[in-house]
Structure formats: structure tokens, C-alpha cells
């Protein structure tokens, strides 16, 4: 069972690094938030795919952050 501890150590290390990696997506998150906010302002209408470009940029950034975390930060 001692080998099991090493696995959990690596998992914990990756989980601790994940919020820092997501923080790198601040610009994308802000752009998406501005788009949604502008769409829901008085007189605005939020529609499906209205902010699709901004959402895709944010999703791609999150996916890249997750991949880096799984690879151990490479």
C-alpha cells in the first residue's frame, strides 16, 4: 500500500496547481463576462451563441490549463 501514497501525492500536487493555471485565463474570462453583461443590460437580449467566440476562447484556455495540470506542468 505504500506505493498508493505516492500516487495520491501526485494527485494532490496537480490539484493544488490547477487554480493557479486557471488564473491564467483571466483575460478570456473577463471578455466572456463583458459579452454576457452587455447582452443582459437593459435593452439587450441574450441569445444562444451570441458570445460563442468569447466562450470558445475561455473553454480553450481552461482545457489548456487542465492539460498542463495533468501533464505535471510541462
pLDDT tens digit string along 29-60?
999 999 999 988 888 787 889 999 999 999 99
pLDDT at 47: 85
Q: What is the four-CA torsion angle of 36, 38, 41, 47, rounded to 10 degrees?
A: -50
pLDDT at 72: 64
Rounded Cα gap, residues 7 and 25, in angstroms: 28
Of 13, 17, 2, which Cα lies nearest the Cα of 68?
Answer: 17
Summarize pLDDT for 1-26 with one digit per residue, the tens. 455 677 777 778 777 777 887 888 99
Rounded Cα gap, residues 56 and 46, in angstroms: 17
pLDDT at 66: 81
Amino acid at each position: 500500500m505504500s506505493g498508493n501514497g505516492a500516487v495520491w501525492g501526485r494527485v494532490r500536487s496537480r490539484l493544488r496547481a490547477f487554480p493557479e493555471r486557471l488564473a491564467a485565463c483571466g483575460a478570456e474570462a473577463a471578455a466572456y463576462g463583458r459579452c454576457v453583461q452587455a447582452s443582459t443590460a437593459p435593452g439587450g437580449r441574450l441569445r444562444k451563441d451570441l458570445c460563442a467566440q468569447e466562450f470558445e476562447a475561455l473553454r480553450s484556455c481552461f482545457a489548456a490549463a487542465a492539460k498542463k495540470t495533468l501533464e505535471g506542468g510541462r
